[in-house]
Amino acid sequence: MELIRLSPFDLFIAALLVIGLSLISWRLQLGVEKRLLWASLRTVLQLTLLGLVLKTLFAQDNPYLIGLLALFMLTVAGYEVMARQQKRFTGVWGMGIGTLSMFISSFSITLLALHLVIGVEPWYTPQYLIPLLGMMLGNTMSGMAIALDNLTQNAAQQRGVIEARLILGESWETAIGEIRRNALRSGLIPIINAMAAAGVVSLPGMMTGQILGGSPPLEAAKYQIMIMLLITAGTGLGAIVAVWIGSYRLFDERQRLRLDRLKN
């Protein structure tokens, strides 16, 4: 089946639905209409720009340009992790924890998939690297942001409990152990729910895109299974690294709780 191409008018019709939702928000005084329109405009501009950039990358297949784009994606994802937290770490740690954790998790798993699972040559082929890395970063970013936000919020709320346990002689790891476990659970819940609902409640995005692009449904399903499993592993590893670094950062070398390293 030949791919049906969308015209600007087709996209305008879809945009009218979002404009209508914004009008409803304004009428009901929800106060989100400006953010909704701004987010929609950003989506259009960012995806259009990405399409133009990928078109250039696909034509040149330059590893340096591909690496630069991957680094840019990682930097933006690290910023988004920081921006989604109500209480975040001050200084370079605010953005550094998320960026480093995603580099360790998303990049390593993406490279593993390209080499051992897909077996694409060269491994930096943008047709495979950029979409796979984007999905890994996007989902890992959300899981880590939730986990870190849960960690810092609960540490602040249970300050008295943590300090009391420290006074009783417990190590910082033991004193904050339950909070860390709860933070990790919260970070993993979204991807667990997504896996449980995949194919029953929802049709995942990559599988939908491949089917719309003309791929056989079974082949699209196999790719989606691979992606879901990789995302789950990346989210879990990223959340573990981020929560460990974050909880370590909450204490000083004398094992004192340092909430002054957080800002609202």
- Domain residue ranges in the chain: 1-60, 63-263
Report yes or no: 82 and 99 within 8 Å, Cβ to Cβ.
no
> pLDDT category, 204, cuts 50, 70, 90?
low
Residue 264 has a pLDDT of: 67
Residue 259 has a pLDDT of: 86
pTM: 0.80
Quote helix, strand, coil % in the chain, to nearest 5.
80, 5, 20
Q: Are strands 88-89 and 262-263 parallel, antiparallel or unpaired?
A: antiparallel
Residue 122 has a pLDDT of: 80
What is the sign, positive or negative, of the torsion defined by CA atoms of 221, 226, 227, 233? positive
Residue 11 has a pLDDT of: 86
Report yes or no: 101 and 93 within 8 Å, Cβ to Cβ.
no
> How does pLDDT run across 18-28, given as a tens digit for each residue?
999 999 988 88
Element (H, E) at 11: helix 8-27
- DSSP class of 262: E
3-class secondary-structure state, position 202: strand
> How does pLDDT run across 89-147, given as a tens digit for each residue?
888 888 889 899 989 988 888 888 888 888 888 888 888 888 888 888 888 888 889 99
> pLDDT category, 178, cuts 50, 70, 90?
very high
Check residues 172 and 196 and name the one with the higher pLDDT.
172
> pLDDT category, 85, cuts 50, 70, 90?
confident
| pLDDT score of 253 more than 60 | yes
Check residues 202 and 256 and name the one with the higher pLDDT.
256
Q: What average pLDDT does the structure give for the chain?
A: 85
User: Would you give the distance in Å from CA 250 to the centre of its chain?
Assistant: 23
> How does pLDDT run across 139-161, given as a tens digit for each residue?
888 888 999 999 999 999 999 99
Report yes or no: 246 and 97 within 8 Å, Cβ to Cβ.
yes
CA 148, CA 153: separation in Å to the nearest integer? 8
Element (H, E) at 227: helix 217-249
